[in-house]
A and B are shown apart, each in its own frame.
Chain A
Amino acid sequence: DSGVTQTPKHLITATGQRVTLRCSPRSGDLSVYWYQQSLDQGLQFLIQYYNGEERAKGNILERFSAQQFPDLHSELNLSSLELGDSALYFCASGGSTNEKLFFGSGTQLSVL
């Protein structure tokens, strides 16, 4: 158990809908990272938050947004969903140096 909690584990929805994925980092970790894993793209970095502030942005679509709350949990919002958004979404957390990242077990999103 990595100590990083992601909910829900599975999500099935329809095109055009909006969903929210939730992540609780390991106790004491201030950084939260979001990654998307798909068969054609591999594991792609989306966005990073550190202590409530956005720190780095990767290949995140404008339809996607994220935030980190004062209790350090984070949410990834995906809107106007398309079939191609079907993927495994991972959250990871890291300490102050972020030398090591610890991943949650992921949310499998299926857009039908």
Chain B
Amino acid sequence: GEDVEQSLFLSVREGDSSVINCTYTDSSSTYLYWYKQEPGAGLQLLTYIFSNMDMKQDQRLTVLLNKKDKHLSLRIADTQTGDSAIYLCAERREGSYIPTFGRGTSLIVHP
């Protein structure tokens, strides 16, 4: 299997919360990241969490980390149509400077 796994699609209604999930395999992961990818705009770093934390909140974004289960989630509150994009999860292992990315979850927000 892949080192970082995400489901491919998520569809939500505008105004609802979105929860995007990610699982990773390496227990030595030190940093875990969420990036947003829109067409023609590259990858935008949304937020990241250090492995000694279990939660981080930044405005509408909440990141939850379960180290035991190697599970990371990104919750977007009050999802808007402008949040429609691909969200990529990434991990960086201890001793490495190279993030490994999941394939991304395509978030579709409909009215």
Contact = CB atoms under 8 A, between A and B. Distances in A.
A38 B100 CA distance: 15
B45 A98 contact: no
Interface of B: 31, 35, 40-45, 48, 88, 96-104
A42 B104 contact: yes
Contacts of A105: 40-42
A102 B88 CA distance: 14
A103 B35 CA distance: 10
Interface string A18-61: 00000000000001010100000011010010000001101000
Nearest to B88: A43
B42 A2 contact: yes
B29 to A, nearest CB: 14
Interface of A: 2, 4, 9, 31, 33, 35, 42-43, 45, 48, 55-56, 58, 90, 92, 94, 98-106
Majority secondary structure, A binding face: strand
A99 B44 CA distance: 14
Given A42-B102, A45-B98, A45-B99, 6 more contacts: A9-B40, A55-B97, A56-B98, A92-B43, A103-B42, A105-B40
B42 A90 contact: yes
Contacts of A43: 88, 101, 103-104
Given A90-B43, A105-B42, A106-B42, A48 B48 contact: no
Contacts of B42: 2, 4, 90, 103-106
A31 B96 CA distance: 13
5 contacts: A43-B103, A99-B31, A99-B48, A101-B99, A106-B42
A31 B100 contact: no
